[in-house]
Amino acid sequence: MSEVSAEQFAQRVINANLLDERQLESIWSELGSREESSERFSLIALRRQLLTNYQVEKLLRGDRSGFYYGGYKTLYLVGSGAFARVYRAVHRDTGEVKALKVLRSRYSHDSEETQNFLREGRMGKMLQHPKIVPIHDVQSAGRTHYIVMDFVEGRNLREFVKIRKKLRAEEATDITMQVVEGLDYAFARGISHRDMRLSNVLISSRGVAQLVDFGLAATGEKPTSRVEEHPNPRAIDYAGLERVTGVRKDDKRSDIFFLGCMYYNMLTGEPPLPETKQRVQRLSASRFRDVVPINQLDPELPQHLVMIVKRAMQLNPNSRYQTPAEMYENLKLAKKSLSTQVAVTTQQQPEIPITIRTKHSAPVSSPVATPVHSLMVVESDVEMQDLLRARLKKRGFRVLVTNDPTRAIGRFETSEHEMPAECVIFSTRELGERSVKAFNLFGKLRNTRSVPAILLLEEGHSKWRQDAEVAAHRVVVQMPIRLGQLQAVFEKLLAST
């Protein structure tokens, strides 16, 4: 960052049309001098929520494009696939936040891939259902092609399962029912999905599941020689299944099979088909024939769930559910049966000591007396927000909650005398690496560097522990953790300041 001066950085901001003159002048005014580094300039812009980390990184690299697509300004990269990248973006006039799916440049030169991508968008616009992510617009400008869709605050189902390992039967069944609703709506309009997998289901922070990416349905792939010899990478699993079962290459019941695979994965934490990038292995008949029975992998699963998975994953397509609606009826009965069983409550947490890494302190193992304090929680998972708010309030804390790390830091900007909170918790449960970056930024800014902060790492996020910049009043805590233990951490941090 030191290689680029503040003035050079500001010029790049102007060239990219990211800030207006008034916003730039306000940053210069705070800096007090133009003989500053780009790091100081960008830290102020980040704190004031004028720029995002994604934009700053692009500017520092010297990128000149990718900041706007039409009227949409990109805020950060959400995810990358083989064919496209997805960005969170905001419209410069309306302020609407949307997701932009942008075709990778290497495919924009291929007229067939480009047409497939545009057909995907146009087909998506036809599907308007609460369990399908809506597409609002499809645009092309030269060799740039993008789809405008709703932005879902959450994560995809693959990430969800990776963190949870396996889901409770009730939760897995509820998510599957939601997916089936969306798929049934598409089936009723003569449209199959052709790419059913965990990563094509988005789970919002409120637990709503929505299908995304009906791309292969839109391509209208038929059994041509090109498809047989060089199947679309996203279609290989379908090609392998339909080859081993001897059905035509656009059989709608293939979606039912892969929906069964998703349900299997959620219930057990293991994929039924060996995951590999090798095309030959993915097309292998044994991959589909040698599936470990779900009740062998988890003998304690209720029998009615086992039967649903087995029927959905029958190799003989005539023995499967013939429509999503048929599967939905069995899932509905299963959900009713599960609801009568004793549920595991959120109070039943394992007695696992918290793990804290600081420069000067040892792990805290027991709670201490608690006076009234104010805490800010940065967490986008609504269930976790409600849980922390309710329980911490019962213990006498004043609790502020926000789902945006940048906004949380911004709350301290105008509070020169009285801070919004005495301690801030940055949770990675839903926000992931964004919380880690915000935690580190919080420790650098003038108004916040002395404020106690906790980085709360979700299970499966321990890889980010070494990225956290800690101090005596800034610690990392690994989930799971009991509330009494977390309370003890608050007390120790507040005592250190």
Give pLDDT tens digits for 352-389. Answer: 333 334 344 344 333 433 446 889 999 988 778 888 88
Sign of the CA dihedral running 177, 181, 182, 184: positive
CATH code of the domain containing 133 = 3.30.200.20
268 and 257 both lie in a single domain: yes
Same-domain check for residues 328 and 363? no
Q: What's the half-sphere exposure (Cβ side, CA atoms, 13 Å) at 109?
A: 2
Percent of the residues in the chain that have a pLDDT greater than 90, as a whole number: 57
Q: Are residues 332 and 425 in the same domain?
A: no
Separation between Cα atoms, residue 438 and residue 404, nearest integer Å: 10
Mean pLDDT value across the chain = 86
Count of domains for the chain: 4
Q: Is the pLDDT of residue 155 over 70?
A: yes
Say which amino acid occupies 216: L
Residues 85 and 146 in one domain: yes
Across 102-111, 142-151, 339-348, 363-372, the highest mean pLDDT is recorded for 142-151
Per-residue model confidence as pLDDT tens digits over 300-354: 999 999 999 999 999 999 999 999 999 999 999 999 999 876 343 333 433 333 3
* Beta strand 135-141 pairing with 97-103: unpaired
3 and 106, same domain (yes or no) = no
Determine the pLDDT at residue 414.
57
Domain boundary residue, one of 32, 64, 96: 64
- pLDDT tens digits for range 181-232: 999 999 999 999 999 999 999 998 888 999 998 855 544 444 444 444 445 6
The answer to whether the CB of 88 falls within 8 A of the CB of 99 is: yes
Q: The whole model's pTM is what?
A: 0.72
Q: What is the largest CA-CA distance in the chain?
A: 75
Instruction: Report the pLDDT value the prediction gives residue 164, as an integer from 0 to 100.
Output: 82
Beta-bridge partner residues of 475? 454
Residues 6+ apart with CB under 8 A from 189: 126, 127
What value does the CA radius of gyration of the chain take, rounded to a whole number of Å? 25
pLDDT confidence of 485, banded at 50, 70, 90?
Answer: confident
**Among candidate residues 124, 130, 97, 103, the one with its CA nearest the CA of residue 115:** 103
pLDDT at 496: 75
User: Domain check: are 310 and 361 in the same one?
Assistant: no
CATH number at residue 422: 3.40.50.2300
Question: Which of 45, 64, 83 is the last residue in one of the domains?
Answer: 64
CATH number of the domain encompassing residue 161: 1.10.510.10
